[in-house]
Structure 1
């Protein structure tokens, strides 16, 4: 048994020694590989370091070169500044009063160019604007050629302002098409084509949106002579303002819903006033005809009063008087029918105008809150509504109030006629009764 155990232990010890030797060999191989890998990495790092150092040297050399160039340019700039100052001093001494002449020439050329850019005087002479542009952009004293060019530009402008000429210019029509069209140039006041006056923007002509009264056309200018025409002395400024001036319909549209309500009430009130005015005129003519034939009562206020008197003429004087008074009150109601509505509409129109004013101001303040008050055009809508509704309310109230007073006076005049005739009938009846009593007393 013991020899077997010994053999087993010996085998185990040999196996352990073999495993230890194998592990040691593996560890040594791994260590050798790691050393080789580290050597490779160190070589790579050294190569990268060498590249960075070379790049650093190149950048330092470039910096030194740029610094040198900068110093050289700085020295050159300083020298140039000194030279420029010396040359300017020499130029000022040499030019003397010619420097002022240079400024005057440039200023005159600039002002004339600004005036002629949108003028038809040089629409067919673009070289004039080119000459003025050269003078304006010049940086040296004007030469004789430039001075003569400025003088010729003034001369040609003055001559063109006194002539009526035919021109062929590019025209931008209402359909958006650019085409050549024949124009008449009326001095410096404007261009005229078949559509009326046109404006020149420096490149092409366009017709004004709104033409003035007596605006000529090219055909009319060619066929007639001695004709009066409307002209714009501001060279197109007034015609542009004419296009921006709103029409009556546009002003009414600015009133909004409140303005339409005021107009509707005004139309209703005037229709009532017109109808009642015609009725009162007819009634008055009927009464005048009835006064000529009192014995033949007809269908009119006075005729109905006469009929009421004949129906109750056997009654006492007091009863007849009350009966006629009742008939007059009934007729007065018919005569004044609709007048209260006219008066109400006359009072309501200014109140609606005030409502539109308040509404427009509220809208204006809302716009100011949103966009500020820097641009007046933003607030124009609300202010326009406020003013237009006020004007509509006042314009509506005045004729309505006038119509009410006139109709009320007519109704009162008719009522006075009826009362006068009624009192005459009562007085006549009272005199008849008094005469009968006197006759009876004498007979007794």
Structure 2
């Protein structure tokens, strides 16, 4: 260390001769500036020390004030807690006095609350609310009041509850006509004239309406039941006074109508049969029309033959007349030759009398086979659906099962009348053929007798 000081002093000693007079003056100024800055810093420091001492006293004063406020609030809190405990005892005592004075009325208010709740449910699900909207609102307040311990129902509320219950029973036995909002299947809400039948059904413009509980509005059924049930709506809407008219009511208040509306009609049933079903119906129609045509032709022919049987004049516009014309043309022939000519004439008439009857039989046989074909294809669809979606949802298999059953039914529906009509037409034609054969046999018998008489 000493060597370092000696070295530095030597360096300064060597450097001093090299410093000029001007540089010395600058160093003195710098030294003065440093002294002045140090003096200012000392003054600021002293000032801050004084301010800190002053604020410390102020902070101690604030702490004392906060402590005093805390003590005051703690005392106030203790007073309030004591007052709260006293009030709790007073409230419990008063509540006990109230319960003692209420006695059986408390149970009555409980029953009143239950009755008001049940009545509210009835009003919300009743179609009468379409004529008397908003009547269940006061029941909500009554239920709240009846369930409260600090508030009692008023006489007016009790009387109104009795009145509304009585009015519901009275309106349930009336048929009323009024205007109300009706929601159409397209979603539009329109004002319509509504006829209400007690608490069962409501109708408008020839259609049934359902009361929707959630929206509290009348909704027109998108699919109406069959004409058998809707025919009486128009008569009911136009009836007046004591006029009586028949009408179907739904005691389930719309549930049965919904089920009946969802039930497929005849056209829907036919659609379920698919292409095979329509083919079966077409064949059945062809068979029936063919049978009707043949019956008309055979009946006309039977009338002509019957007329021909009553006269000896030959009319070749009927089968018997043509057979008799053959006889007249071969009177001079021997019996065997005449028999051959008559047999030929009868054979020529058989196709005319049996024309088209074979097709009726074919249709009666093919129709059930087509029904069986539809059944098989429908069951194939069912098994394909089961393989894809399983058996959890029966609705997915309903389409194939419907096709299987409907085509079988359609096949039987087409076959049964065709079998009956084939039998009828066939018997009719055979009866006419038998008449021709009988007449031909009689002619041969007379011809043979005449030839034997001549020979004798």
- TM-score, scaled relative to structure 2: 0.67
Size of the aligned set, in residue pairs, is: 349
> Counterpart in 2 of 1:117?
124
Equivalent of 2:403, from 366, 382, 385?
A: 385
> Counterpart in 1 of 2:270?
252
> Counterpart in 2 of 1:155?
166
**Cα offset for 1:153?**
4.0
Cα 1:412–1:218 change in 2 (3 A) is closer
In 2, the alpha carbon distance for the partners of 1:264 and 1:323 equals 43
Q: Deviations over 1:213-271 (max 9, x none)?
A: 211478624x5541314142422233323322322222211111111000111111112
In 2, the alpha carbon distance for the partners of 1:136 and 1:367 equals 52
- How do 1:61-210 residues align onto structure 2 when only pairs under 5 Å count? 108-133=115-140, 143-145=152-154, 150-173=161-184, 176-202=187-213, 203-208=216-221, 209-210=223-224
Contact 1:189 1:232 (C-alpha < 8 Å) held by counterparts = yes
Cα 1:309–1:201 change in 2 (3 A) is same
Structure 2: stretches of 5+ with no match in the other structure: 1-91
In 2, the alpha carbon distance for the partners of 1:416 and 1:251 equals 45
Equivalent of 1:291, from 306, 309, 318?
A: 309
In 2, the alpha carbon distance for the partners of 1:183 and 1:123 equals 9
> Counterpart in 2 of 1:230?
247
SS at match of 1:397: helix
> Counterpart in 2 of 1:40?
none
Cα 1:167–1:300 change in 2 (3 A) is closer
> Counterpart in 1 of 2:76?
none
In 1, the alpha carbon distance for the partners of 2:452 and 2:235 equals 90
**Cα offset for 1:361?**
2.1
In 2, the alpha carbon distance for the partners of 1:412 and 1:185 equals 63
Cα 1:291–1:175 change in 2 (3 A) is same
**Cα offset for 1:394?**
1.0
Q: Deviations over 1:185-222 (max 9, x none)?
A: 3331233434444222243222334262211478624x
Cα 1:255–1:103 change in 2 (3 A) is farther
Q: Deviations over 1:33-60 (max 9, x none)?
A: xxxxxxxxxxxxxxxxxxxxxxxxxxxx
For the pair 1:240 / 2:258, whether they are aligned, the reply is yes
Q: Which has the larger displacement, 259-268 or 190-199?
A: 190-199
In 2, the alpha carbon distance for the partners of 1:140 and 1:417 equals 101
Q: Which has the larger displacement, 395-404 or 193-202?
A: 193-202
**Cα offset for 1:341?**
1.1
- TM-score, scaled relative to structure 1: 0.68
Cα 1:179–1:311 change in 2 (3 A) is closer
In 1, the alpha carbon distance for the partners of 2:105 and 2:401 equals 56
> Counterpart in 2 of 1:362?
380
> Counterpart in 2 of 1:436?
454
Q: Deviations over 1:70-122 (max 9, x none)?
A: xxxxxxxxxxxxxxxxx9xx9xx999999987776665555443433232223
SS at match of 2:122: helix
Equivalent of 1:406, from 424, 430, 439?
A: 424
| Structure of larger gyration radius | 2
**Cα offset for 1:391?**
1.4
In 2, the alpha carbon distance for the partners of 1:278 and 1:102 equals 84
